[in-house]
Structure 1
């Protein structure tokens, strides 16, 4: 079985059979314990275990792991987490040992006593059907109270069972969860207050703290900086937010449409367009400006999030609400130019067809037929996104932003080149420019190429303190700290 492009790893715990797990659960279930605080299925984080057993070999997938000689009796056990949001927002699944976090579930059904969903993060057409019921008498291993969702898992190549128990709600005492209204729904967000402030949305607040609105980067990156399409997690924006809190700067970060807890806002079979992200951010900026008790408001975007931010702030009405823009590890090269460079290795006829298709999208919003070699890139599901993304020009856009700009580049950024970043510098030569030593594209401090790539999926790599110091000083309108590499 392959989940999100990765095989089940050997670090998974083995059981001779599912009966071993059932025996353990039965022993625990006869011990005297208290009942759980809830006796029904409600929104929240539910954690437990998933046990899978391969079905008979003649029915199994040819892509199953080959590290066990006894394929027919092989069982795998994983930590398993289910985040139930709401009927309209859906479910998210974590399987940490597979590097899978916040995987969105499209097909699901649940009420107070039953839940079912289809897990499709498996290569090929394999799907697993999870069906569970709330049991008030079930006692999970190592738990001191009863009550959990217990159920079965069925698939073509794997069958098994799972249980999850609701975890106590743990909200950081320094933060508040918000829903930010947009034109067709709401974006989940986290407002983190400075260490010196008591979290409150009291309209009569006398506070005056600086606030930074953090905009996540490319793809389905969520408010913490994690992307479900990249195995593992990095927690870059979550770390940065906590570091700014310690420097008495508040932050607001949100799940973009199609990411994290906002995944259901993206229409099935259609990528959210670049212009839709810009409109959403416009609503978030208005909401941020209305938060009681904040002083200076800074918008800070990383890579493509910076593009979205500069596009939104071309609106003078929005720009009037903001005191500064921080552009972090963003390229000045336009998407259409990037496309041309990526086509360099193709034959002339194929290059022409690709550029014709791109021009048709940009000028008319029409997707013309393309050869099979280009079909994936110009897929119908990507039409609206491509049309607005290919039309974007970061140099032209940043030149029109009428508020102070701070340009930040990571010394060890392997994704945005020095030359690409310099295009933004040339467009705004009066902007403040800082190069953060050892920082990579994911805003992590790394010392080698191996660490650079590992930091994309390993939260143990830290955001540089110098980046947090720099953003804090910008938010407070104070002189920048020392220790940066000179721009030349």
Structure 2
């Protein structure tokens, strides 16, 4: 499959096939969330202040993306950089490895037992934990990519003070997958689309074609069924809080049209299109090879507009 399909679909679906993590210990103070299946490990960056500060909970994107925004060999440190940029502006952040990923690996369930709502429950518990912490005056949820849908549900359920979607799809996941399969040969579509139809209908497909095992292996299908039932346009309407929508114009995985759909569903939201920002929140060109190179460049700085807009939104909350 093409690079775009690899980076989206395989990242979305390889929930428990994470690579080993390496590198230096993330900066900040360890912060944990204890769950019934294990401890979820996070990092708190807390600016020095004599008063409570606003805090942003950062929820990473799809698949085995860790708290810093990295997927195995694709080290870009996007979420780590965003956390540090907000820290410099006096805003606290908490970012964490999802269950089954990185230092939270032991909290993971078996792949066949995972459902989308498990990630929502974790994010909701984080928001509740932060709201109960007297060091924080406001709690904002920021979800990147798949984390946008998780974050908007957690923000609604735990009554966060604000929500930020960064590169969040505006369509249901099955529709996103269909669109990303359109450039593939018709043979691939003819195999994949009926499987998608069955999963959307809540029916397992035990004999999925081996060609598409990475996407539709039996163990991942229950998770997909739970995920496909959710429509971001429906979920975002449930929010009654300030919302910021941020989308890069050079994102090869999520188009600006997706952000427009979320804006139409929640007209009160502020929509910011960041020129030349790609899916890993870095400046990039339309050249695919150059764009993809940023996914594994941890030295390349974030798009400055992103941190500016997030900072302004958080500081503007009353």
1:460 alignment partner in structure 2: 299
Equivalence for 2:9:
none
**Deviations 1:305-357, CA, capped at 9 Å, x for gaps:** 11111122342xx12xx111011111212222234345554359x73x74554
Tell me the C-alpha RMSD between the 2 structures.
Answer: 2.7
Q: Out of 149, 154, 171, which is 1:312 matched to?
A: 154
What's 1:404 paired with? Answer: 242
Matches of residues 280-291 of structure 1 in structure 2 within 5 Å? 280-291=122-133
What is the TM-score of this pair, normalised by structure 2? 0.84
Q: Which residue of 2 is the match for residue 389 of structure 1?
A: 227
| 8 Å contact from structure 1 (residues 223, 253) kept in 2 | yes
Match among 255, 267, 271 for residue 97 of structure 2: 255
Q: Does 1:446 align with 2:290?
A: no
Aligned residues: 297
Gaps of 5+ in 1: 1-91, 95-100, 103-166, 198-205, 480-488
**Would the alpha carbon gap of residues 376 and 414 (structure 1) be closer, same or farther in structure 2, given more than 3 Å must change?**
closer
Change (3 A) 1:405 1:93: closer
Superposition TM-score, scaled by structure 1 size: 0.56
Which segments of 5 or more consecutive residues in structure 2 lack a partner in the other structure?
A: 1-18
The 3-state SS of whatever aligns with 2:44 is strand
Corresponding residue number in structure 1 for 2:119: 277
SS of residue in 1 equivalent to 2:296: coil
Cα distance in structure 1, aligned partners of 2:201 and 2:81: 41
Q: Tell me, yes or no, if structure 1 residue 469 matches structure 2 residue 308.
A: yes
Deviations 1:273-325 (A, max 9, x none): 3221111111111112122221121111111111111122342xx12xx1110
* Worse-matched range after superposition: 421-430 or 215-224: 421-430
Deviations 1:380-401 (A, max 9, x none): 1212221112222111111222
Distance 2:286 2:214 in 1: 34
- For the pair 1:422 / 2:260, whether they are aligned, the reply is yes
State how far apart, in whole Å, the 2-side matches of 1:217 and 1:376 are: 18
The answer as to whether partners of 1:297 and 1:475 remain within 8 angstroms in 2 is no
SS at match of 2:313: helix
Cα distance in 1 between the residues matched to 2:238 and 2:103: 33
Q: Within 5 A, what are the aligned runs for 1:288-303?
A: 288-303=130-145
> Structure 1 residues 451 and 355, CA, compared in 2 at 3 Å: closer, same or farther?
closer
Provide the C-alpha distance between the structure 1 equivalents of 2:213 and 2:251, rounded to a whole number of angstroms. Answer: 31
Maintained 8 Å contact 1:208/1:295: yes
Going from structure 1 to structure 2, the CA distance change for 1:384 and 1:295 (only over 3 Å counts) comes to same
Following TM superposition, by how much is the alpha carbon of 1:438 offset from its aligned partner in structure 2, in angstroms? 2.4
1:243 aligns with 2:85: yes
What is aligned with 1:437? 275
In terms of fraction of residues, the more strand-rich structure is 1
Q: Could you say if the C-alpha distance between residues 372 and 240 of structure 1 is closer, same or farther in structure 2, counting changes exceeding 3 Å?
A: closer
Is 1:226 the equivalent of 2:70? yes
Q: Match of 1:298, SS? A: strand
Structure of higher CA gyration radius? 1
Q: Determine the C-alpha separation between the residues in 2 that align with 1:342 and 1:465.
A: 29
Distance in 1 between residues matched to 2:26 and 2:295, nearest whole Å: 26
**Paired position in structure 2 for 1:182:** 35
Alpha-carbon separation, structure 2, partners of 1:468 and 1:347: 43
Which residue, out of 166, 177, 186, partners 1:346?
186
d(CA) in 1 for partners of 2:36, 2:197: 29
Residue 164 of structure 2 is aligned with which of 326, 331, 351? 326
SS of residue matched to 2:130: helix
